[in-house]
Amino acid sequence: MLSLKENVFETMRHGKPDAFVNEWEPFPQVWDPVFFYLFPVARGGTAVNPWGVTIHWGENEPGIMPIVNEKTKVCPDVTQWRKYVKAPDLTKIDFDWTQAKADSERIRAEGKFTMVWVPTGVFEQLHFLMGFEDTLCNFLEEPEAMHELIDYIKEAKMQQVKLLIDNLHPDVIMFHDDWGSKYSMFMNPSVWREFLKEPYREIYGLMKKHGVITMHHADSYCQPIAKDMVEVGIDIWEGILPSNDIQQIKKDTDYKLTLMGGIDASVVDRSDWTEESVRAEVARACREYHEGGMFIPCLTYGGEGSIYPGVNDCIMDEIRKQNKLYF
């Protein structure tokens, strides 16, 4: 029987896993001090982060969102972004890595991957600073300024990645950047390629240089750029929605991109959930996406767990049962 790590590698290599990788089981998250510095808010709270962005984490919501209006908008004019946008210099902060290092060692001793989390990727940082409408319009109306601001954001993100690598030597870094809605991308694929492809090639190139598995969270429709995701160095597309043609993406990417997700949160993670509905959705995902491997059944959120208690336990139990059918 393969170990948890070996089973992940067999899944990623289009090899011979002996079971489905069960959601986040091999990927416990290490909560690092940089994360808490950048996101100083708890569920139900509102705060201003070191970029000057007002952030809020609502009750019964899976994650943190920005509050961007005329009063809170950090960057009202992208042509003057240098006047408004000030990235925190993480190298000047005396972070306490004690707990994160201890957690990393414990996870390694358990035979699992250490994973750290980098939320707000390049695109998300843009709309955190100026809002969705301004971000999308500025791609078209102010491309020169947007390229400059993107390069500035990229350097800040690479500083964060390097800090995590130097201090924790993680096996996996999960980078968050949603590039679309449920059924379409937020921008034309050509716009994504013009503005975001090369910055991500650099960010993921840095991770690859240090032997880190690159996991990119995008619970979005991103099928038109799946090949590009491979080209910039993404190993695992986490959060893939079933609105993407998951089986076709495997073929289009020559089985080089591991797809983690496929379980529709809108079907299972709701106040009126039932065990029958959860098990049926998990069984559907395993049945429709198991062929050809390269698939990790998982809720499409960018992290472990469910909003409603009991849902994720039911999902994991059903994945274990589905193993008997396919392995």
70-83 pLDDT, tens digit per residue, is 999 999 999 999 99
Q: Looking at the predicted structure, is the pLDDT value of residue 326 above 90?
A: yes
Q: Looking at the predicted structure, is the pLDDT value of residue 185 above 80?
A: yes
Task: State residue 218 phi and psi, 5-degree precision.
Answer: -150, 95
Strands 54-56 and 258-263: unpaired
> Which structural domain range is residue 293 located in?
4-326
- Report residue 214 as tokens: 């690159």
State mean pLDDT over 189-211: 98
Summarize the chain as % helix, strand, coil (round to 5).
Answer: 45, 15, 40
Strands 54-56 and 65-66: antiparallel
d(CA 264, CA 245): 13
51-60 pLDDT, tens digit per residue, is 999 999 988 7
Domain count, the chain: 1
Task: State residue 49 phi and psi, 5-degree precision.
Answer: -85, 175
Predicted local confidence at residue 85, as pLDDT: 98
Q: Look up the pTM and report it.
A: 0.96
The DSSP string of 64-104 is -EE--STTT-S-S-GGGHHHH-----GGGS----HHHHHHH
Q: Strands, DSSP E only, in the chain? A: 46-48, 54-56, 65-66, 115-118, 172-176, 213-217, 236-240, 258-263, 295-299
State mean pLDDT over 5-15: 95
Contacts of 109 (CB under 8 A, 6+ apart): none
State mean pLDDT over 47-66: 91
Q: Looking at the predicted structure, is the pLDDT value of residue 160 above 90?
A: yes
Mean pLDDT of the chain: 96
- Report residue 27 as tokens: 């990927």
205-248 pLDDT, tens digit per residue, is 999 999 999 999 999 999 999 999 999 999 999 999 999 999 99
87-143 pLDDT, tens digit per residue, is 999 999 999 999 999 999 999 999 999 999 998 999 999 999 999 999 999 999 999
Q: Looking at the predicted structure, is the pLDDT value of residue 294 above 90?
A: yes
- For position 202, which CATH number holds? 3.20.20.210
